[in-house]
């Protein structure tokens, strides 16, 4: 209610209301006013039957009241003039952005009635033709759209389509949110997996096999190998899964330092602790140690004795089963030079062929590692097999590995200088002794060709095959001889070897040697009597 006692409204107070001034007029149960009420000609307030007549513009004065001022004639107020809207303020682009914003706000704030589910729509709310159109064959809801600048469809069908489009959009948004959630979960899971892998590789226990392993493989522990050197060998042969697992077990075992270099027949996929224990136990068991420079004829009896076999068993197996021992083709079936010198673990019941295979496999692996084939041409040799032959001679002639590189230079100078004093001949006793199978020989045998290519007093260059089983020091010396012009050498003692470039200088050293050993000296031959 307002302060004037009426409700809000646009009509002026009492204007055109015949019930003005009558309480509850028009209310239910209240008597209606007489038909003549308000008519000055029909009113007789005093019941006299006389009616006062009021002149136009004149108001009758009641007795005892002050005079009444003449009333101005009533003037109808002018009709209200429509308010002209303010001129729109246009932006730089010619658009009234305030009006556009107001219209957008009104559209967003306008209440939208929820439409009933599709199956609950009444026939009159959903015309049959619309239903038939939408369910007709080939109907595509996405193609039935309003152009961007077209007038909006205000029909019930248009309203329903807009709501259905909203529900479709919400479904698509839900699917997109679900996809993003799954992607996030997958990313977190992947991060956790790789994070765990990083932690395990940097801070977790090292990779390790379990158990004592399976199968068998021959491994060679080199001289002076520490825990990591052993671990690298075992890892390369698939004995242990990681070097760190072996090193950890090696450091924990106080007996690990007793492990000796040599060849061992081990199982594959052993735990680090089992591998360490095996190597320690093998040192306490039977082992066959083959020194550098021994001939095959000397090694065979050692094998027979260690395996408890009849004499000649190893020699016979090396001859009869040579095709099964793994020799390379360039060996031409000759096992000499391929019985690699090292320590071999011998187990009860081991077969001779298995031990010979280990030796050959070790030799082939060592030759490849030393680069015999690739380094042959640099020292004027044809191939790796010639490197092996020369190394076998060096190993048999030398007695101090410190002098090997100088002896290698002597051998190289002799076979590569046909015009020199030796005329391209090695002129060595060791090659003839190998062919004869003994250390002593006569001058007649020395001048005979019965020894074939191994009599280096008669043939030029290298013999046809190795004369011993050399080690890595001799092979490396052949591949890297010391610079010099020497053609002769003589071992004065196990630690002293003298080298000479001429035969005259060489005879001086020979005479000193013969005198030290109480022997005569032949100045013509340059040898002791």
User: CB neighbours of 253 closer than 8 A, spacing ≥ 6?
Assistant: 273, 276, 277, 280
Q: 188 and 226: one domain?
A: no
Q: Is residue 231 part of a domain?
A: yes
Rounded Cα–Cα distance for residues 167 and 391 (Å): 90
pLDDT confidence band for 21 (50 / 70 / 90)? very low
pLDDT at 308: 92
Over residues 162-167, the mean pLDDT reads 66
Query: Does the pLDDT of residue 60 top 60, yes or no?
Result: no
Strand partners, 221: 262
Does the structure show a pLDDT above 70 at 15? no
Provide the pLDDT for residue 80.
62
* pLDDT confidence band for 79 (50 / 70 / 90): low
On average, the pLDDT of the chain sits at: 77
Per cent of the chain over pLDDT 90 is 44
Alpha helices in 253-351 (DSSP H): 272-284, 296-307, 313-320
| Contact between residue 417 and residue 502 where contact means Cβ atoms under 8 Å apart | no
134: its two tokens: 């939408």
Place of tokens 């089983």: 469
Whether residue 239 is contained in a domain is answered as yes
**Cα-Cα-Cα-Cα dihedral of 476, 478, 479, 483, to 10°?**
110
My answer on whether 279 and 218 are in the same domain is yes
pLDDT at position 414 over 50: yes
Is the domain of 227 the same as that of 193? no
Q: What is the DSSP letter of 97?
A: H
Torsion over CA: 175, 176, 181, 187 (sign): positive
Same structural domain for residues 199 and 254? Answer: no
Residue 284 has pLDDT above 80, yes or no: no
Q: Please state, in angstroms and rounded to a whole number, the distance separating the CA atoms of residues 72 and 58.
A: 10
| Domain termination residue (choose one: 204, 225, 252) | 204
Question: Exposed e or buried b for every residue in 448-484, given b needs 16+ CB within 10 A?
Answer: eeebebbbbbbbebbbebbbbbbbbbbbbbbbebeee
Instruction: Output phi, psi for 404, to 5 deg.
Output: -60, -40
Which range is least confidently modeled, 26-30, 63-67, 82-86, 458-462? 26-30
Question: Across residues 383-408, what is the average pLDDT?
Answer: 95
Same domain, 222 and 200: no
Residue 391 token pair: 């190394």
**Contact assessment for residue 218 and residue 206, using Cβ atoms and an 8 Å cutoff:** no
240 with 213: CB under 8 angstroms?
Answer: no
Write down the pTM of the prediction: 0.55
180 is a domain residue: yes
Residue 216, C-beta contacts closer than 8 angstroms, at least 6 positions apart: 265, 266, 267, 268
The last residue of a domain, from among 285, 310, 334: 285
Give the 3-state secondary structure of residue 527: strand
pLDDT at residue 241 above 70? yes
Average pLDDT over residues 201-209: 78
| pLDDT at 202 (0 to 100) | 57
Kindly state whether residue 159 falls inside one of the protein's structural domains. no
Is residue 78 scored above 90 in pLDDT?
A: no
Of the given ranges (209-213, 343-347, 409-413), which has the lowest mean pLDDT? 343-347
**CATH number, domain containing residue 225:** 3.30.1490.480
Where does residue 301 rank: exposed (0-12), middle (13-18), buried (19+ CB within 10 A)? middle
Helices within 44-146 (DSSP H only): 97-109, 128-134
Check whether 156 has a pLDDT greater than 70: no
Lowest-pLDDT range, 91-100, 262-271, 367-376, 399-408? 91-100
Q: What is the pLDDT of residue 493?
A: 86
Contact in structure between 499 and 430 (CB atoms under 8 Å): no
Looking at the domain assignment, is residue 200 inside a domain? yes
Task: State how many domains the chain has.
Answer: 2
Task: Specify which of 173-182, 329-338, 411-420 reaches the highest per-range mean pLDDT.
Answer: 329-338
Residue 398, domain member (yes or no): no
> How confident is the model over 287-310, as a mean pLDDT?
94
Q: How many angstroms separate the CA atoms of 179 and 454, rounded?
A: 83
Compute the distance between CA of residue 264 and CA of residue 255 in angstroms, rounded to an integer.
17
Residue 228: which domain range?
Answer: 214-285
Q: What is the pLDDT of residue 127?
A: 52
pLDDT higher than 50, residue 428:
yes
| Torsion sign, CA atoms 266, 270, 276, 278 | negative
Tokens describing residue 210: 């379990």
Query: Both 176 and 197 in a single domain?
Result: yes
Residue 42 has pLDDT above 50, yes or no: no
Q: For residue 263, what pLDDT is reported?
A: 76
| Domain assignment present for 178 | yes
Give domain status of residue 298, yes or no. Answer: no
- pLDDT, tens digit, for every residue of 302-334? 999 999 999 999 999 999 999 999 999 999 999
Q: Yes or no: say if 200 and 192 are a contact pair by the CB < 8 Å rule.
A: no
pLDDT of the residue at 185 = 62
Please indicate whether residue 65 or residue 4 has the higher confidence score (pLDDT): 65
pLDDT tens digits along 452-478? 899 999 999 999 999 999 999 999 999
Residues 199 and 256 in one domain: no
* CA nearest neighbour of 412 among 389, 385, 387, 379: 379
pLDDT of residue 515: 93
Is the pLDDT reported for residue 168 higher than 70? no
Domain stop point among 248, 263, 285: 285
Tokens standing for residue 452: 């074939």
Q: In the predicted model, is pLDDT for residue 276 greater than 70?
A: yes
- The long-range contacts involving 489-494, CB below 8 angstroms and separated by at least 24 positions, are 489/403, 489/406, 489/407, 489/410, 491/398, 491/399, 491/400, 492/516, 494/399, 494/400
Top mean pLDDT of 88-97, 133-142, 253-262, 434-443 is at: 434-443
Give mean pLDDT, residues 123-138.
Answer: 49
Provide, for the chain, the percentages of residues in helix, strand and coil under a 3-state DSSP scheme, each rounded to the nearest 5.
Answer: 45, 5, 50
Q: How far apart are CA 306 and CA 115, in angstroms?
A: 101
């Amino acid at each position: 209610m307002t302060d004037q006692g009426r409700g809000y409204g646009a009509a002026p107070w009492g204007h055109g209301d015949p019930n003005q001034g009558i309480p509850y007029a028009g209310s239910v149960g209240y008597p209606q006013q007489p038909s003549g009420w308000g008519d000055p000609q029909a009113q007789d307030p005093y019941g006299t039957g006389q009616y006062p007549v009021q002149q136009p513009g004149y108001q009758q004065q009641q007795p005892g009241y002050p005079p009444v001022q003449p009333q101005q004639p009533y003037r109808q107020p002018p009709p209200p003039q429509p308010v002209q809207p303010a001129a729109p303020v246009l932006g730089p682009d010619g658009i009234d952005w305030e009006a556009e914003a107001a219209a957008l706000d009104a559209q967003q704030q306008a209440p939208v009635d929820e439409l009933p589910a599709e199956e609950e729509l009444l026939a009159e709310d959903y015309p049959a033709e619309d239903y038939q159109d939408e369910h007709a064959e080939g109907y595509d809801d996405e193609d039935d759209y309003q152009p961007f600048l077209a007038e909006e469809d205000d029909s019930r069908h248009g309203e329903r389509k807009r709501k259905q489009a909203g529900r479709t959009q919400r479904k698509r948004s839900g699917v997109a949110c679900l996809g993003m959630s799954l992607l996030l979960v997958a990313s977190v899971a992947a991060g956790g997996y790789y994070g765990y892998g990083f932690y395990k590789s940097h801070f977790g226990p090292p990779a390790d096999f379990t158990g004592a392993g399976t199968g068998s493989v021959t491994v060679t522990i080199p001289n002076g190998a520490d825990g990591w050197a052993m671990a690298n060998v075992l890892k390369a042969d698939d004995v242990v899964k990681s070097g760190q697992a072996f090193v950890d077990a090696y450091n924990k075992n106080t007996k690990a330092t007793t492990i000796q270099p040599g060849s061992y027949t081990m199982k594959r996929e052993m735990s680090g602790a089992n591998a360490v224990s095996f190597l320690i136990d093998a040192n306490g068991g039977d082992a066959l140690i083959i020194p550098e420079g021994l001939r095959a004829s000397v090694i065979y009896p050692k094998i027979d004795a260690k395996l408890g076999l009849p004499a000649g068993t190893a020699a016979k197996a090396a001859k009869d089963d040579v095709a099964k021992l793994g020799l390379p083709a360039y060996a031409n079936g000759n096992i000499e030079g391929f019985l690699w010198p090292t320590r071999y673990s011998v187990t009860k019941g081991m077969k001779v062929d298995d031990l010979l295979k280990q030796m050959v496999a070790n030799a082939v692996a060592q030759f490849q590692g030393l680069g015999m084939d690739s380094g042959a041409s640099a020292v004027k040799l044809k191939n790796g097999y010639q490197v092996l032959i020369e190394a076998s001679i060096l190993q048999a002639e030398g007695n101090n590995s410190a002098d090997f590189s100088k002896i290698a230079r002597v051998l190289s100078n002799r076979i590569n200088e046909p015009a020199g004093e030796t005329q391209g001949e090695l002129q060595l006793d060791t090659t003839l002794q190998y062919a004869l199978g003994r250390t002593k020989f006569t001058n007649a045998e020395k001048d005979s060709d019965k020894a074939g290519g191994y009599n280096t007093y008669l043939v030029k260059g290298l013999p046809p095959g190795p004369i011993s089983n050399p080690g890595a020091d001799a092979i490396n010396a052949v591949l890297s001889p010391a610079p010099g012009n020497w053609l002769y050498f003589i071992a004065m003692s196990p630690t002293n070897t003298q080298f000479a470039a001429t035969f005259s200088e060489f005879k001086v050293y020979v005479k000193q040697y013969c005198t030290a050993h109480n022997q005569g000296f032949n100045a013509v031959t340059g040898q002791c009597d």
